[in-house]
Amino acid sequence: MTLTRILLSLLVLLSCESCRYDPFADRYLTKKPRSLDVVGRYNLVLQTAIPGDLQAFKTRPIQIEFRGDGSFIATNVAPASSSATNPPGFANSLLSGSGSWRIGSVGGIKNVFGPEKTHWGIYLDSPGLEIQPVGLTHSRPPYGLIFTIGDPDEGTALILERQ
């Protein structure tokens, strides 16, 4: 009995990769959505990137609109190389632009007791801009969006909800 507990504990410790965990992983969408269910306007509702809660972005509102024709308009979204290690620098690095969007895998969610699940999200293709892919949240429409900033296990993110 004791040997079984020791082996089980060892297995759990080895599989949790230093026991780090993305605090938002339970929100990630793991079933591919229909494009029609993504269409709409999304606004920032929560951020952990810089001090000041939403007040930090009062003069720099974060918003994305996905249109049914596959185009988008984004205001103050995270660049592909975003990092929240320097709050003033992060706020100044936000990008605005337009282009086309497409649904795709933006990562995976590891599970000790089962296969890795796909985290679905949206790629924003805009000429001249490198915008970070945005993850989809919630298990059914209306979906939300999450820009993960830096290491996902640190819990630094911009979270948007559909209006």
Q: What is the pLDDT along the chain (163 residues), one digit of tens a residue?
A: 576 666 555 455 445 444 457 899 999 999 999 999 999 999 999 998 888 788 878 888 999 999 999 999 999 998 887 765 565 677 788 999 999 999 999 998 887 778 899 999 999 999 999 999 999 999 999 999 999 988 888 888 999 999 9
**Domains of the chain, residue spans:** 21-162
Q: Is-contact 133 149, C-beta < 8 A?
A: no
- 146 neighbors 92 (Cβ within 8 angstroms): no
What does the pLDDT read at residue 55? 81
Which pLDDT belongs to residue 160?
Answer: 97
State residue 25 phi and psi, 5-degree precision: -60, -30
Residue with tokens 């599989």: 15
For residue 148, give the nearest of 4, 1, 64, 22 by alpha carbon: 22
Q: What is the dihedral of CA 15, 21, 27, 28, to 10 degrees?
A: -60
Tell me what pLDDT residue 7 has: 54
pLDDT at 14: 47
pLDDT of residue 86: 61
**Where do we find the tokens 């080895």?**
14
Q: What is the pLDDT of residue 51?
A: 82
Q: Of the candidates 40, 39, 163, 29, which has an alpha carbon nearest to the alpha carbon of residue 106?
A: 29
